Amino acid sequence: MYNFDFVRPKTIADAAAALGHEGAQALGGGQTLLPTMKQRLASPETLVSLTGIPEMQGVCKADDGAICIGGATPHAVVAAEVAAHYPALAGLASHIGDPAVRNRGTIGGSLANNDPSACYPSAVLGSGATVVTNTRQIAADDYFQGMFTTALHEGEIITEVRFPVPEKASYQKFEQPASRFALVGVFVAKYADGVRVAVTGASEEGVFRWTEAEEALSANFSADAINGLTVPADGMIGDLHGSKEYRAHLVGVMTKRAVAAAA
């Protein structure tokens, strides 16, 4: 590791000011950024830790019933504190990586990174959640813009994520056994006005909504409703863990499992 400066502000305003300096970068749990720095793939001059900011920590319930999660909240806290309000989201958080990753990694870091195999992006897109930053609110449908790409501007901080709570939901992950990232993960959420289906791990474009399945499930919320529906293998990720065709097949399998678990 090379030398760098480290600051740990106590407020969002101070963090935003620190990130305004050239060469500064936000640090969440460091589960992605620190290994990247060790490999010399990133070399920020100053790390601005967000984990000491009380207003970015923890879980609360908004007046409209939405669950609000602070941007620097670790996965283990989400798993524990959201369980009573949004079990599918808590279940997702409780199966991220291993205990060390869950105790350090944060929801804001995961969403800012937008790894194509990460779990949280599917919950955010599948719930139609809102990503709140220090300057604006971004709807999930506008936030994810491709593999490792988001609507965030340079130095913008994810301060909170707001999840509307569905009637029923489930996340089913076919995990890569070494890392526990999703080979394919599907988040299904049934709201009064329709069903949302978000798929992670599968596409070269990152997390996406499977709209054909959403239409079928909005008409009939049962696993049989998506019989005969398929996603094209073209555009899926193909690697040593699974071919494009295998991932495309898994999308249907995991969606059925998610619907069955939710129902």
Ligand X SMILES: Cc1cc2nc3c(=O)[nH]c(=O)nc-3n(C[C@H](O)[C@H](O)[C@H](O)COP(=O)(O)OP(=O)(O)OC[C@H]3O[C@@H](n4cnc5c(N)ncnc54)[C@H](O)[C@@H]3O)c2cc1C
Residue 158 in contact with ligand X, rule: CB under 6 A: yes
CA distance 141 to 51: 27
SS3 of residue 163 by DSSP: strand
Exactly one of 32, 172, 203, 255 binds ligand X (CB under 6 A); which one? 32
Exactly one of 16, 24, 69, 112 binds ligand X (CB under 6 A); which one? 112
Residue 203 in contact with ligand X, rule: CB under 6 A: no
Secondary structure of the chain: what % helix, strand, coil (to 5)? Answer: 35, 25, 40
Tokens 């989201």 appear where?
A: 89
Nearer to ligand X, 27 or 197 (CB): 27
Q: Which residues pair with 139 in a beta bridge?
A: 130
String of contacts with ligand X for each residue 41-80, x by CB under 6 A: ---------x--------------------xx--x-----
DSSP line for 196-239: EEEEESSBTT-SEE-HHHHHHHHH--SGGGGTT----STTB--B
CB of 44 to ligand X, least distance (A): 8
Residue 28 in contact with ligand X, rule: CB under 6 A: yes
What is the contact surface with ligand X in residues (CB under 6 A)?
Answer: 25-33, 50, 71-72, 75, 96-97, 101, 104-106, 108-110, 112-113, 118-120, 157-158, 179-181
